[in-house]
Structure 1
Amino acid sequence: MSRGVHGVLGLVFVTAMSGALVAGLQAGLVYNSFPKMADRWVPSDILALEPKLRNFTENPTTVQFDHRILATLGVSTLLTYVPVSLASSHQAGAVTLLSVALC
C-alpha cells in the first residue's frame, strides 16, 4: 500500500475511535454549542487530568474537542454549500469508514 493510503486508513480509524469515545463518555453533553465550547475556541479544562495523555481517552472535554477537529471536513462541506471536491472527499471518507466497519 502507498503511504497516502496508510494515512487515510489511520485517519479513518482515529475518527471512528473518537466517535466511540464521544458516545461512551457522553461527551456530546458537555458542550452543546458549536463552533466554540463555552464561548472559547479551546476550553480551559482541555488538559485537566494528569498524566496529560489520560485526557485523550478519559476527559470528555478533550474527547469532544478532538472529535470536533476531526469532523472539520464534514462541517466545511456544509458551510461552503457542498462544492463537489469537498463533498466527494467527505463521501469517500464515509465509504471508507463503512467498509472498514463491515470487515
Structure 2
Amino acid sequence: MAEISRLPGPVADRWDWQLDGACRTVSPESFFHPEGERGPARRNRAAAAKALCLSCPVLQQCREHALRVREPYGVWGAMTEEEREAQYRASIAQAS
C-alpha cells in the first residue's frame, strides 16, 4: 500500500504534471497487472508500458512521485514494482 503520509497534499500544482502524462491516452490495465499474470505476458505488458513511459514528457515527475510515496503497484516512471523495490533496497544499503 502507498505510504499515505508521503502523498503530497491536495494542492493542484503538485498534481498538474499528471495531466501531461502519455499514460492518459491508454487504458490503466496497460500499467497494472491483473491478478495471476506471470511470465511472458507480464513481461510483455510491462515492457509496452515502459516504452510509453520513455516517450512521456513527465517521466521524471512520475518516477519521483512513485519513489517518494512508494507506489506499490504498476509501472510508474518506466519502473516496475520490482525495479522500484530494488531501488529502495539499494538506497537503504547505501545509507548504512
Q: TM-score range by the shorter chain?
A: 0.3 to 0.5
Structure 1 or 2, whichever has the larger Rg, is 1
Query: What's the TM-score, normalizing by structure 1?
Result: 0.34
Query: What's the TM-score, normalizing by structure 2?
Result: 0.36
Structure with the larger helix share: 1
